[in-house]
Structure 1
């Protein structure tokens, strides 16, 4: 038997009709938010790594320049930080008989228009000391022990020698 068109009992439609589209849109929006958060975290971590690398390079440049021209050490650090797309925020030279070192702080902004609201990343580094009483660099080995604490390293070390110190505080092995 046929039902008449237009008249008769309407089909029973549940309250759930069309809800799959709403759930799909909500799921896609959630996935987009999670993806944007992941990109934001990645951008922040990248900016922090860039700031730390810029601080390391700026501290090394300032320490290198401090041997030749202590007044230009912070200017050298600023040039290196600018070349690394960072801003030098602090440069402190420590120069006395026991410690020749430079402390540098830089900041690097997070790249990307989506992440402009994130604060800049900060990096700090220290280069030095160039010599300690228990580790005598090759350039100072010829001096009497009394003069070693106040003498400065020569601008160039003899070939095959290194005055670089490791993080643990022990002298790095000389280059062969």
Structure 2
């Protein structure tokens, strides 16, 4: 069966091939962009992991001197497939920047490690008494007994564990 030259659909000859080619090219471009993005993210994660591990290694050796600490950090970074760009040790805190190459990407990531800071002293803010709070909110001063420590109410209620034999 042949189509007539002037009939319906006569101008559509070969148009499906063009649409398939354009769609395939677009899908290939999108796929290539997704792969490139995945490669960049992977490079960033590799550099971040290497920087974190190198900073921890440097902080662990910080008391032996900055040269020893940064040498150990360099060894750890190389074992992770990265290189140290910058290593500074001040006291017990190590600040390391590592670079990892992955494809055309070479991200640099900075990481710090050291001992935790001393926790702040547990200073409780002075809470207003129940009477003061009530005057400000309701204009009344209720007749109430002072609240007992909530831990004291539990002292006789919970069973005690037997003492350890050591």
Same fold by TM-score greater than 0.5: yes
Aligned residue in 1 for 2:109 = 123
**Runs of at least 5 residues in structure 1 that lack an aligned partner in the other structure:** 1-9, 136-176
Query: 1:134 deviation in Å?
Result: 4.6
For the residue of structure 2 that corresponds to 1:92, the secondary structure is: strand
Aligned residue pair count: 115
Higher helix share: 2
User: Counterpart of 1:92?
Assistant: 88
Task: Give 1:65 shift.
Answer: 1.4
TM-score (norm 1): 0.60
Q: Which has the larger radius of gyration?
A: 2
Q: Deviation above 3 Å: which 4+ runs of structure 1? A: 131-135
**Counterpart pick for 2:43 among 31, 41, 47:** 47
In 2, distance between residues paired with 1:43 and 1:123?
A: 16
Structure 2 unmatched runs, 5+: 121-166
Aligned mate of 2:26, from 23, 30, 41 = 30
Residue 46 of structure 1: CA displacement? 0.9
Secondary structure of 1:91's counterpart equals: strand
CA RMSD of aligned residues (A): 1.9
Counterpart position of 1:104: 96
TM-score in terms of structure 2 length? 0.63
Q: Which residue of 1 aligns with 2:150?
A: none
